[in-house]
Structure 1
Amino acid sequence: MYPTSEINNSYNFVAKLTKSASSNFYYAFKILPREKRNAIYSGYAFCRLVDDLVDKNNNLPKKNIESQLFDIENKLNDCIEQKKHKHNGMWIALGETLRKHPQNLRHLKDVIDGCRMDLNKTKYKNFNQLTEYCKKVASSTGLAMIEVFGVKDLKAHKYATDLGIALQLTNILRDIKEDYKMGRFYLPEDELRNFNTSENEILSGEKKENVRKFMEFQAKRVRDYFISGERLFPLINKKYRFCPEIMKNIYFEILTEIEKNNFDVINKKIRLSKIQKIRIIFPSIIKSFYIGLFR
């Protein structure tokens, strides 16, 4: 058993990491009860570690990154058993979280498997293949979140999965150019053919009708996943519901911006302004505050 001071230091570490990586989510989650907040920050820190390892080390040989992913997986197992590591960092906090929510071990391992896919798979033949990827890198985090929030309704699994797919598909549409620079192109090959377009045509950034129709089709499907994912919210305790609501609203606004820009994500980087983010985050936080105040 770790001393309380070490546990608190580790929780402070993951909170600071979350704040530096995503100040929007940091402040959104900060008003959660301490135990829930610590668990969310711990999970976020882990996902950030794995994602950055794969996305920010293109200069490293693939076998080196795979070796580090294997090492992370071993540490994930060890932290539950409280095996100490030379650099504990987030691992104490993560171990504490996983002992309280053991089901999340499987979800975090899915995150590793999803990031491992980015090393070994650069293109997707069809949407079924792409969906499996989205489930691992994004839906798994949503499933971990509902474990932390104590959601028991069996339907929540499907809705959390669909919400994760919607978030990841939005990322994919927004980051086509950036992903290509890392050697990845996620849009399904069979659907490109169905719309008589191609990878090169998408990347050219030229305003063509077939490209626009293809992107419209993609965006419509993402909206359908958002609609399904929203059904998760009533199943979550009102005190915690604002967390997935904020995530959904931010990414839905990104999708809306893509549509407003006539689906041109090549010539212009789609991003939300600080004012847009505040307009999305602040009302949810205020609503949650009053719910907690008058319960």
Structure 2
Amino acid sequence: MPVEHYENFPVASFLLPARLREPVEAIYAFARSADDIADEGNELARVRLERLDAYRRHLRSAERKRPIDDPALAPMFDRLGRNIRRHKLPVGLFRDLLDAFSQDVKKTRYADFAELADYCRRSANPVGRLMLRLYKADTPANLELSDKICTALQLINFWQDVEVDWRKYRIYIPLADMERFGVTEAVIAAGEVTPQFSALMDFEIQRARTMMLQGAPLARRLPGRIGWELRLVVQGGLAILDKIEGVGYDVFTRRPALGKTDWLRLIWRAATR
């Protein structure tokens, strides 16, 4: 389930076949470090965007087996390029991630769900698509289900982090939904769990849950370890939604998260559902 820096990414755990740990680690290192450029520290937006542009340049070099002109980043991009070529990974998916991270630097509001879904298409869905390519399971039907799971995971991360994102002056809740339920930015700034905010969160949670359940059959289609890990991911995401509901939608005073005692229940659910 979520990791500290780049949530919603299945890290190279013991559940992965040994032959895939290196490519997954290479993808993860790229995604996490690029995400950190967009989100961590106190650099100016201009500097963040310049650094992400450098990542685009290094990605082109890595893809074409050319030298990386930054010694500090050369090992990471050399390894990434090696695995892109070895596993025939679509480079466009890495560019999509960089586009999403750049968007995070520049864009802080989303007019409607279509805009937010387009962001998720680039920020989250590439992860699942890359994993399916590594497993040689990237059929059109599987990709469609994977996109639903990954978008749902991204949405779940947004709903549990409303307060965290506000501290960065970001709101991922679509403005059209806020207007529909009568929730203003002042409500979020004050951390008020009003009846209107609760109704809005319930709406967003049900949308994410429906999307997750629509994608969940993918976990039964995939064999062995990847299917088992994906079932854990799905159950973990659903459990976060349950926790948000369990605290009465108060994502301001506590961040709903999974604890140690949750994992036994999730393992049981993953084994039986």
In the superposition, the TM-score normalised over structure 1's length comes to 0.82
Q: 2:156, 2:241 within 8 Å by CA — same for their partners in 1?
A: yes
Indicate how the Cα distance of structure 1 residues 195 and 244 shifts in structure 2: closer, same or farther if over 3 A, else same.
Answer: same
Partner of 2:91: 105
Partner of 2:249: 263
Q: Distance in 1 between matches of 2:149 and 2:98?
A: 19
Aligned to 1:207, what secondary structure does the other structure show? coil
1:66 aligns with 2:49: yes
Deviation digits for residues 209-244 of structure 1 (CA, Å, limit 9, x no counterpart): 111111110000000110112122233233421232
The one of 221, 226, 244 equivalent to 1:240 is 226
Considering only aligned residues, what root-mean-square deviation do their CA atoms show, in Å? 2.4
Aligned to 2:226, what secondary structure does the other structure show? coil
Q: What is the Cα deviation at residue 76 of structure 1?
A: 1.3
Q: What is the Cα deviation at residue 104 of structure 1?
A: 2.9
Indicate how the Cα distance of structure 1 residues 273 and 239 shifts in structure 2: closer, same or farther if over 3 A, else same.
Answer: closer
1:140 aligns with 2:126: yes
Q: What is the Cα deviation at residue 278 of structure 1?
A: 5.3
Number of residue pairs the alignment of both structures matches:
265
**Paired residues for 1:22-61 under 5 Å:** 26=11, 29-57=13-41, 59-61=42-44
Q: 1:151, 1:235 within 8 Å by CA — same for their partners in 2?
A: no
1:222 aligns with 2:205: no
Indicate how the Cα distance of structure 1 residues 143 and 178 shifts in structure 2: closer, same or farther if over 3 A, else same.
Answer: same
Gaps of 5+ in 2: none
Indicate how the Cα distance of structure 1 residues 242 and 96 shifts in structure 2: closer, same or farther if over 3 A, else same.
Answer: farther
Q: 1:219, 1:255 within 8 Å by CA — same for their partners in 2?
A: yes
Q: What is the Cα deviation at residue 189 of structure 1?
A: 0.7
Q: 2:178, 2:200 within 8 Å by CA — same for their partners in 1?
A: yes
Q: Distance in 2 between matches of 1:188 and 1:171?
A: 14
Q: Distance in 2 between matches of 1:25 and 1:234?
A: 17
Deviation digits for residues 179-200 of structure 1 (CA, Å, limit 9, x no counterpart): 1111211111111111112122
Q: 1:153, 1:235 within 8 Å by CA — same for their partners in 2?
A: no
Aligned to 2:111, what secondary structure does the other structure show? coil
Indicate how the Cα distance of structure 1 residues 182 and 19 shifts in structure 2: closer, same or farther if over 3 A, else same.
Answer: closer
Partner of 1:5: none
State the one-letter code of the partner of 1:65.
R
Aligned to 1:29, what secondary structure does the other structure show? coil
Gaps of 5+ in 1: 1-17, 288-295
In the superposition, the TM-score normalised over structure 2's length comes to 0.88
Partner of 1:251: 237
Indicate how the Cα distance of structure 1 residues 56 and 233 shifts in structure 2: closer, same or farther if over 3 A, else same.
Answer: same
Q: Distance in 1 between matches of 2:6 and 2:174?
A: 30
1:277 aligns with 2:260: no
Q: What is the Cα deviation at residue 206 of structure 1?
A: 2.6
**Which region of structure 1 is more displaced relative to structure 2, 137-146 or 248-257?**
248-257
Aligned to 2:249, what secondary structure does the other structure show? coil
The one of 149, 164, 167 equivalent to 2:150 is 164
The one of 180, 183, 190 equivalent to 2:166 is 180
Aligned to 1:90, what secondary structure does the other structure show? helix
Deviation digits for residues 157-186 of structure 1 (CA, Å, limit 9, x no counterpart): 211111111000001001111111112111
Q: 2:193, 2:249 within 8 Å by CA — same for their partners in 1?
A: no
Aligned to 1:89, what secondary structure does the other structure show? helix
Indicate how the Cα distance of structure 1 residues 221 and 69 shifts in structure 2: closer, same or farther if over 3 A, else same.
Answer: same
Partner of 1:205: 191
Q: 2:116, 2:172 within 8 Å by CA — same for their partners in 1?
A: yes
Q: 1:29, 1:243 within 8 Å by CA — same for their partners in 2?
A: no
The one of 54, 63, 73 equivalent to 1:80 is 63
Q: 1:111, 1:140 within 8 Å by CA — same for their partners in 2?
A: yes
Q: What is the Cα deviation at residue 282 of structure 1?
A: 8.4
Partner of 2:115: 129
Q: Distance in 2 between matches of 1:21 and 1:220?
A: 24
Q: 1:203, 1:266 within 8 Å by CA — same for their partners in 2?
A: no
Q: 2:163, 2:188 within 8 Å by CA — same for their partners in 1?
A: no
